[in-house]
Chains A and B, each alone.
Chain A
Amino acid sequence: MALHFVDYLVLVLYFGFVLGIGWFLRKHVRTSSEFLTSAHSLPLWITSLAFLAANMGALEMIGMCGSGAKYGMLTSHFYWVGAIPAMLFVGVFMMPFYYGSKARSVPEYLKLRFDEKTRGFNAITFAVMTIFSSGISMYALGILLQAIFGWSFTFSVLMSAGIVLAYTYLGGLSSAIYNEVLQFFLIVTGFAPLAILSVQKAGGWQGIEARLSPQMTQTWRHLSNPADNPMGVEVFGLIMGLGFVLSFGYWCTNYLVVQRAMAARSMTDARNTPIVGAFPKMLIPFVVIVPGVAAAALATMGAGYSIPLKNGGPDYDKVLFSLMEQFYPSGMLGVGLTALVASFMSGMAGNVTAFNTVWTYDIYQSYIRKNAPDSHYLWMGRMATIFGTAMSIGAAYLATQFNNMMDFLQLIFGFVNAPLFATFLLGMFWKRATGNGAFSGLVSGTAAAALTYSLTLAEGKGGWLGVLHEFPSSMAQNFWVAINAWTVCFLVTIVVSLLGKPRPEEELVGLVYGVTKHEAETAVWYKRPAMLALLAAILCLALNLVYF
């Protein structure tokens, strides 16, 4: 890619603003709560957009565009089935307990509801996951900057880590969240013109439909048989695996996103955070997936565009870059590339701020130094930001040594998040669930995920202990790993809980449905979570029907 001075100017402008926001917010950070949790002070529009942006890493942008070219509109299931229902659920049903329990983090809720060992298990696995996740983002950004700007990998990684560290160290969670919102607008405005131009060039949506098979432009009609769609999945696996276990596991229990909602300034705003975020979220496929679908159509037209190749086969990960090269002149190219850098940074900062909170409150304060003055925990939060970033840099270098690091990380997510959702579901909605039940359920659910992966094969992955079943795609395998992990955790938690002694009901007030009295919602009817969630559900259903 040949870049002009104007492209660099756009990048420098962006870096200047993100650092400036961190610098301005530094004087508002005086306590550990202000640094690590924003002291419940942020308005709804900020928290809801940050809720989205923390999840919009560049790997997703690049991957979703590539999946659009490979799988077509089926990819939109990751949004309309795999995100929206879970976002509405967490807002309506779960946020009252996260926010109302006064827990400062998701692991702390587990301590309040169950016991210390369940919190410890979740805190440690989550901390490790965030470091690896942040490191992989950093690795991918290093490779991207190396390829585009010709900078060395080390310089690219250190520079991006240095900028993220600077603004999160200065302004804490508020700075990360404010920058995530700026990054969200930049990502959407940076990629939206690409969607418009590529669809126009392909003859509009009707032109795309005429050039591609119906499997590429429809979302539900070819899911009765895995062999009938390019993803190799069927309805049950899709709804249960992606739509229920993986999706609810991520959106309802991952502290990285839940932390944004918990930073809201009132209970109503906290509940509305994921619900309001669901409205733009359901439109994101038109910005990131549709350009990929248009690329597949353009490649059939002989209009001068072809899908990039690698080792003789299509290289879908390069579809986004190839579209930017074809449609964006210098200037806009700088905007598009800066949007990609912004998405990497928002993902990285999200992980670092979630890590420093879980480390400080759930590991350091709980196990290493209790009852220290708040100024000490503020200092430790800042130190955690530094060594979290340093460990992420180490993970980025580790990633250069393994070509399957990303697959490994995806697998770990499935192992951890799927059983965790069963734990939360029972913890919040069944007062009989016990700490021993939750802990043994989590451990056995994780083991069930490992066993499923070890006994099945898909695209050469898995089958460590033998092959009892072969899946048509890795995606189908991931769905079933998650389904089994969730089911085993759910059943084991129930059985072990029934064998033990439940906690007295009065100790569960504010933590479990059925024993908690809910205050009447005082917001006007159109701002109430249930009403907004209903509207979002209707719109999401309509989108599914339009592209059925």
Chain B
Amino acid sequence: MLDLRKPAGYFFLLLGLILCAAGLAFDFKAPLLDRNLNLEFGIFSVLFGGVFLWLARRA
């Protein structure tokens, strides 16, 4: 059976890379936001996906 940690890991890894790229390449703003949320969440998502992949690799 499929180890869900692999697709989940790749999903969050790719999502994180997209958001990091968006955070670095564009100056997207929101009315009540005063930080680069795309970059911050992107890094978190890359790490989150990485943890999934690491757990899948260990199993």
Using a CB–CB cutoff of 8 Å, the interface residues on chain A facing chain B are 4, 6, 9-10, 13-14, 17, 20-21, 24-25, 28, 41-42, 46, 174, 178, 181-182, 185, 189, 193, 197, 201, 303-305, 325-333, 335
Main secondary structure of the interface of B (DSSP, over half): helix
The verdict on A6 contacting B22 (CB below 8 Å), with A17-B11, A189-B48, A201-B32 known, is yes
Pairwise interchain contact A181-B31, C-beta atoms closer than 8 A: no
> Does the CB pair B33–A178 fall under 8 Å?
no
| Interface membership of chain B positions 10-21, coded 1 if the CB is closer than 8 angstroms to chain A and 0 otherwise | 111011001100
Bound Cα distance from A25 to B6, whole angstroms: 14
Contact A327 B30 (CB under 8 A): yes
Look across to chain A and name the residue whose beta carbon is closest to the beta carbon of B52: A185
Q: A159 vs B4: C-alpha distance in the bound complex, in angstroms?
A: 25
Which of A303, A331, A335 contacts B32 (CB under 8 A)? A303
* Given A20-B7, A21-B7, A189-B45, A331 contacting B19 (CB threshold 8 A): yes
B contact residues around A325 at 8 Å (CB): 30-31
B45 and A305 form a contact (CB under 8 A): no
B17-48: which residues lie under 8 A (CB-CB) from chain A?
A: 18-19, 22-23, 26, 28-33, 37-38, 41-42, 44-45, 48
Assembly CA distance A178 to B2 (angstroms):
9
Determine whether the beta carbon of A13 is less than 8 Å from that of B2: no
Taking CB atoms, residues of chain B closer than 8 Å to A193 are 37, 41
Taking a contact as CB atoms under 8 Å apart, the answer to whether B7 and A185 are in contact is no
Could you say which of A25, A327, A328, A332 contacts B2, with CB atoms under 8 Å apart?
A: A25
Closest to A42 in B: B1
Q: Please determine whether A327 and B22 come into contact, CB atoms closer than 8 angstroms.
A: no
Contacts known (A193-B37, A329-B38); A6 close to B11, Cβ less than 8 A: no
Instruction: Please determine whether B37 and A41 come into contact, CB atoms closer than 8 angstroms.
Output: no
**30 A-B interface contacts by CB (under 8 A):** A6-B18, A6-B19, A10-B18, A13-B11, A13-B14, A14-B11, A20-B7, A21-B4, A41-B1, A42-B1, A46-B4, A174-B1, A181-B4, A182-B8, A189-B44, A303-B32, A325-B30, A325-B31, A326-B30, A327-B30, A327-B32, A329-B37, A330-B26, A330-B28, A331-B19, A331-B28, A331-B38, A332-B19, A332-B38, A333-B30
A42 to B11, CA, bound (A): 21
- The chain A residue sitting closest to B42, CB to CB, is A331
Query: What's the nearest-Cβ distance from chain B to residue A181, in Å?
Result: 6
User: Which residues on A sit within 8 Å (CB–CB) of B18?
Assistant: 6, 9-10, 13, 331
Residues of A within 8 A of B23 (CB): 331
Task: List chain B residues, Cβ under 8 A from A21.
Answer: 2, 4, 7
Chain A minimum-CB-distance residue to B14: A13
Known: A6-B26, A41-B1. A326 touches B41 (CB 8 A): no
Q: Which chain B residue lies CB-closest to A193?
A: B41
- Whether the pair B31, A4 counts as a contact (CB closer than 8 A) is no
A178 and B15 in contact, given A197-B33, A201-B32 (Cβ under 8 angstroms): no
CB-defined contacts of B48 to chain A, threshold 8 Å? 185, 189
Cβ distance A6 to chain B, nearest Cβ, rounded Å? 5
CA A327 to CA B44, docked complex, whole Å = 18
Q: How far is the CA of A20 from the CA of B11 in the complex (A)?
A: 11
A42: chain B residues at CB < 8 Å are 1
Bound complex: CA of A326 vs CA of B33, how far in Å?
Answer: 7
Closest Cβ of chain A to B1, distance in Å, is 6
Report the bound CA distance from A17 to B29 in whole Å.
28
Q: Are B11 and A178 closer than 8 Å at their CB atoms?
A: no
Which of A28, A185, A325 has the most chain B CB within a 10 Å cutoff? Answer: A185
A17 and B7 contacting across the interface, CB-CB below 8 Å: yes
B32 near A304 with CB under 8 A, answer: yes
Structural contact, A182 and B11, CB atoms closer than 8 A? yes
How close is A54's CB to chain B, nearest CB, in angstroms?
16
20 new A-B contacts at CB < 8 Å, known A14-B11, A24-B7, A197-B33: A4-B26, A6-B22, A10-B15, A20-B7, A42-B1, A185-B12, A189-B48, A193-B37, A197-B32, A201-B32, A305-B32, A327-B33, A329-B37, A329-B38, A330-B26, A331-B18, A331-B28, A331-B37, A332-B38, A335-B15
